[in-house]
Amino acid sequence: MIRKSRSITGKLVGPNTANLKRIKPELARKIIRRYHFMNQRKQKICSLLGSKDVEMYRKHLSFEEGWNARLNGVDSVVESVLRNIGTSNERDALIKLLGYIMKEVEDEMGLANYQFASRMGQDANRGGDSSKILVQWIRELIDEGKLERNRMKALEIGSLSKMNKISTSGIFEPVVRIDLNNSNDNEGIIRQDFMKRPIPTGENGKFDLISCSLVLNFVAQAIDRGRMLRRFKDFLKGSKLIFIVLPLPCMDNSRYMDTNHFKELMEALGYDKIRYYKAKKLCYFLFKGNGERERQGKKFTKKLKLHDGPNMNNFTVLFPDM
């Protein structure tokens, strides 16, 4: 059965709109922004409520109330409260907001729209998929004799397409593609949370490269980003390469992060930065294992103000206290 649905903006998008080949960039950006906004609000509410575990609020009447409100469409009153959440909100009101948010982010079509919009962002007409930079770098490193010409095994976290360069260049074989959600029914992408992927017991289950393009910024909490980065070591072998792509403002407009701090943080985990490229909207990193053991100073367990300014963001990565 063909399912049709309308996005939050009322436009028809998603996997079952086969004849709809593209959506306008502004709409794609709007869908992506909305999805991230709702996830940020969710995290904020959870931290105000004192638990990250949404499940414990699900049976609450207020949760149901919020859920039902969203079921009936976008509610302008709830939306305005959502934009101004603070400590003054009562517990029941927060739980209601949580229900409202969860209805939207867990909605299959909402998710499909988000992933569809993210894929549109990868469209070749708008700069192409980020892994073409990775492939170019790997070719250079092989030509410079800094990497062996052997086929490398890759893990792509947050994969939205099996047609991206990482999968088609022939450099990486096999490419294991995973994503939290595979609501677009893409073949060849395993629905899996990297944080729950079993740690390989032998070298066979490990990878020469992990690709993490626009994923770290998707992870809502700084400490969970740190956990994700720290987990990479259990999955890497050989040259231990990590390809990371982030929106540029994470590096050049954050109070708590910049390229130098990120480089130091990755060094503390045992990786050297071997390539960096700053594009108009994104920045690209390639790190390589330096053979050193992880060494964590206090420096990365607490937020450190590196810059300040009125329109700066608070993106950062923190390691759990050891």
Ligand X SMILES: C[S@@+](CC[C@H](N)C(=O)[O-])C[C@H]1O[C@@H](n2cnc3c(N)ncnc32)[C@H](O)[C@@H]1O
Stretch in the footprint of ligand X (CB under 6 A) among 146-154, 193-201, 233-241, 267-275: 193-201
User: Minimum distance between the CB of residue 63 and ligand X, rounded to whole angstroms?
Assistant: 23
Stretch in the footprint of ligand X (CB under 6 A) among 70-78, 92-100, 191-199, 233-241: 191-199
**236-265 residues near ligand X, rule: CB under 6 A:** 245
| 102 binding ligand X? (CB under 6 A) | no
Establish whether 224 is an annotated binding residue.
no
Establish whether 179 is an annotated binding residue.
yes
Closest CB to ligand X among residues 17, 211: 211
| 199 binding ligand X? (CB under 6 A) | no
Q: For the sheet containing 207-213, what is the strand order?
A: 190-191, 172-179, 152-157, 207-213, 236-247, 282-289, 271-278
Stretch in the footprint of ligand X (CB under 6 A) among 47-55, 76-84, 212-220, 273-281: 212-220
User: Minimum distance between the CB of residue 224 and ligand X, rounded to whole angstroms?
Assistant: 8
**104-143 residues near ligand X, rule: CB under 6 A:** 115, 118, 121-122, 130
Closest CB to ligand X among residues 157, 269: 157
Site string for ligand X, 153-182 (x = CB under 6 A): ----xx-x-----------------xxxx-
**292-321 residues near ligand X, rule: CB under 6 A:** none
Residue 209, Ramachandran bin (φ over 0: left; ψ between -120 and 50: alpha; else beta): beta
User: Minimum distance between the CB of residue 225 and ligand X, rounded to whole angstroms?
Assistant: 10
Which residue's CB comes closest to ligand X? 158
Look at residues 258, 255, 246 and name the one whose alpha carbon lies nearest to residue 311. 255
User: Minimum distance between the CB of residue 53 and ligand X, rounded to whole angstroms?
Assistant: 17
**4-43 residues near ligand X, rule: CB under 6 A:** none
| 218 binding ligand X? (CB under 6 A) | yes
| 195 binding ligand X? (CB under 6 A) | yes
Q: Are 268 and 297 in contact (CB under 8 A)?
A: yes
Residue stretches of the annotated binding site for S-adenosyl-L-methionine: 158, 179
Q: Which residues lie near ligand X (CB under 6 A)?
A: 115, 118, 121-122, 130, 157-158, 160, 178-181, 193-195, 213-215, 218-219, 245
